Amino acid sequence: MLNSHPEKTLKTHVAEVLEAANRVWASHSSRLRANFELYSTLERAIAFHDVGKGSKHFQVYIKNVSGWRGNKKKKAHTPFSTVAALHDAKCNGWTWTDVLAISVATAGHHSGFKTRHDLTRILTDGEWQLILEDQSRGIDWNGLCDAVNFPLSPFVSTLDFLDDLAEWFEGSILESSLDQLSVEDGVAFRLRCQLVHSILLEADKAYLKLDEADREPYRSSNGFSFDMQRLFDFTSNKSKDSPSPLDGLRQSARQSLSAGMECDANDSIFTMTLPTGSGKTLLAAHWALSQRERFRSENHTPPVIIVLPFLSVIEQTEKEYRAFLKGNLSVLPYHSLSVRDLEVTEPENALESGGANLGSESVEFMLDIWDADVIVTTFDQFLLALLSPKARYQMRFHSLCDAIVVMDEVQALPTMLWDIVNQCLAKLVTLGNFRLLAMSATQPGFLPAATEIIEHPGRFYASLARYELVLRHQDPIFLDDFIREVVERAKDWSNRRAMMVLNTRKSARSVRDALAKAGHEVIFLSADVTPKDRLASINRIKENLPCIVVATQCIEAGVDIDMDLVIRDFAPIDSIVQVAGRCNRHAKRPTERVEIVCLTDERERPFCQFIYDKVLLQETRSVLDEYLGRQHLLSIPESFVFELTNDFYRRVRCKKDLGQSITRAFSRWEEIPDIHELLRGKKGKQHTFVVIEEDSGLSLELQRVAMIEERWSRKRALRGLSGRLASISVAIYVKEDFQAERYATLDATDNFWLLKPGFYEPERGIDLDPKELADESEANWGTIF
């Protein structure tokens, strides 16, 4: 009898994987399930994925896991499974699309989606050729066929056999088939293969991770209905509790949204362009939950995924959704600060679906597969699920195919990702009932096929006069001179709410320290401050009392604060407009000032050049200069913002690299850059410290985890602490010879550097010897929030 796991036969495991895959498949839309060809491909992928477990090496290992000692590669099963699939494909004339879909699912069901070079290397690597030859000896093919429930084609692996298979695979499958597709068709095909791979990844783990009692409700619920009246009442009550001069604009926007939803009910990708403060979060919720109810009526309940770029916005958005969903739908926050505990996010009626009282492994699994009604997550996590080859992210890909996605502050997506995101989203629509709403006050326009759901959005900007952009950037100012200016001006801010937004941590800290030294109380927001303290500071700002705020870009977009005066170091125009949206946000005062300055260091290097792309800066200057030349003024009223940002993005789309080469590599199954690197740019050497003083009980928790002997249990316990750890961590850029032990000690698990007392203050952040920190002008800082 062949075993798959110590206490489970291969026959049982393959049958369970098929059952779990059927549950996943059945949880999707009728449109996706109508693709019978794709389901047939999935069935064969399941049959082949563990064929390699039939080798004698694996069977010896699995029957004595703790006592086994040997060559790890010899007991590996995915290479042999892949060869078995390719051999059967060649013998029986599979379509080339099945060859690739099944071989990549088989080869990557533990590690991730393989590149073309990874697949070829299985057949051509000398060491693997010898191992595969050894593994192929003594296979009980009859028993193996019975176990996987498929009539396999037996073979003996030799050097000539593998060379012939490699020649066929490279020539007939890759070069003559995959490489002949257009980039657009290549992206569509890749996503189809990711769908098969994704379902196999989840199904392969489901009955291993779920406790026996949790298997019955797994992927079986059609989801609860949401009474849209809850949202209408919540929106209405919010307007009554906090009346604003913008209420008329918001009401008009709601009417425009409703009209747009009726006219474009069959479209799939939408944009929503509205000024800051117009209630986009609740408008998007109305769109998303209406879509959810629409598809639920077709016997399929899609997940709603809210995607945000900044942690400072996530807490605010999550609270908003919880406020009107409480007790009705589950909300899953999935980001670096989220607590990994499903019970706190379950609705009160979860008992009906068996969703409550899950075992610890079941909880972890349900979190990882995003099994919730509403998921609130980051750009990183969404793009990793869409594009990353790694198994832990690909496991969620199939959920995207029928998801209702709201992508907020879409302008924050770097230009290098515009083409691949556009292409992938356009093709995702063809797989299921995927719907997207990309919203922003400054719409970048990289989704050319999208439908604008708000008719004539420019009219909403034309009526606004909350602020004017006062342009002082033409004459650069030394940072020291700027500090003297604001210290003097701050004498008149005792009853004002003033905010300065700087481009680097160093310049922000310098301004903060000078104001504090002059006797002013300053609220400081920077990546030098822990997320926990940043969120606490944002809540202080929201109290609407007089205050002075010094911040980096972490305050830029989405945060619902209202300032009287904003001074912004020069940046691309979308960043300027976003931060301007924090000034006189609710239009309760006459027009206020948003001053744009250009700060330089002592060597006359503008700080904006340390952070932002030179093309974006250049096009911003051009747009502003042209406007000033036409108007003969030194300030720009808010009513012109829509026109300016549209002009800016038209120029950017013509002059910037939008990442077409990345899309091509993706479509050809070649390696693409790391997603985090694409989002935040290449980074210098970083070091992360845990400010352990901010969570006194965490050190003891880490000691407890360190005492757990079983490796996977210890890893799960550490994962359970990840939200607490992230909330009190600070990452800094350091020189290559940096010695962390001068400032911190390793925790009991030897994973985290716990900062020693004296190097962190909540009011100003982490403070180490500046000689050991990387120069901001030399490090690629990317996005620093």
Quote the pLDDT of residue 265.
Answer: 67
* Average pLDDT value for residue range 2-9: 95
312 and 262 share one domain: yes
* Average pLDDT value for residue range 107-114: 96
Residues pairing with 8 in the sheet: 5
Residue 662 lies in a domain: no
Residue 353 lies in a domain: yes
Range(s) of the domain holding residue 329: 228-457
Quote the pLDDT of residue 343.
Answer: 36
* Average pLDDT value for residue range 282-305: 92
- 531-583 confidence digits (pLDDT tens): 999 989 999 999 999 999 999 987 766 678 899 999 999 999 999 999 999 99
Quote the pLDDT of residue 782.
Answer: 36
Residue 83 lies in a domain: yes
Quote the pLDDT of residue 350.
Answer: 37
- 712-740 confidence digits (pLDDT tens): 788 888 888 888 999 999 998 888 888 89
Quote the pLDDT of residue 716.
Answer: 82
414 and 289 share one domain: yes
Residue 639 lies in a domain: no
Residue 564 lies in a domain: yes
- On the question of pLDDT at 395 being above 50, the answer is yes
Helix (H) or strand (E) holding 437: strand 435-440
Average pLDDT, the chain: 90
- 470-481 confidence digits (pLDDT tens): 999 999 999 999
Closest-CA residue to 433 (of 295, 335, 534): 295
* Average pLDDT value for residue range 151-157: 96
Tokens 């004498």 belong to residue: 491
- On the question of pLDDT at 604 being above 80, the answer is yes
More confident residue, 170 or 772: 170
> CA–CA separation, 608 vs 776, rounded Å?
11
- 348-373 confidence digits (pLDDT tens): 343 333 334 455 677 788 888 998 99
Quote the pLDDT of residue 360.
Answer: 64
- On the question of pLDDT at 211 being above 90, the answer is no
726: left (phi over 0), alpha (psi -120 to 50) or beta: alpha
Secondary structure E strands in 147-196: none
Domain count, the chain: 4
> CA–CA separation, 273 vs 276, rounded Å?
10
Residue 659 lies in a domain: no
Quote the pLDDT of residue 773.
Answer: 76
- 638-695 confidence digits (pLDDT tens): 999 999 999 999 999 999 999 999 999 999 999 999 998 898 877 677 899 999 999 9
State which of 457, 474, 489 marks the end of a domain. 457
Query: Picking from 22-31, 333-342, 422-431, 514-523, which range would have the lowest pLDDT averaged per residue?
Result: 333-342
DSSP label at residue 416 = G
CATH of the domain at 285: 3.40.50.300
Residue 628 pLDDT level (bands cut at 50, 70, 90): confident
Residue 336 pLDDT level (bands cut at 50, 70, 90): low
pTM above 0.85, yes or no: yes
CATH of the domain at 94: 1.10.3210
Quote the pLDDT of residue 352.
Answer: 31
Extract the tokens encoding 703: 């000691």
- On the question of pLDDT at 632 being above 70, the answer is no
State which of 554, 580, 612 marks the end of a domain. 612
Quote the pLDDT of residue 342.
Answer: 39
49: left (phi over 0), alpha (psi -120 to 50) or beta: alpha
Quote the pLDDT of residue 349.
Answer: 40
> CA–CA separation, 370 vs 219, rounded Å?
11
263 and 400 share one domain: yes
More confident residue, 367 or 38: 38
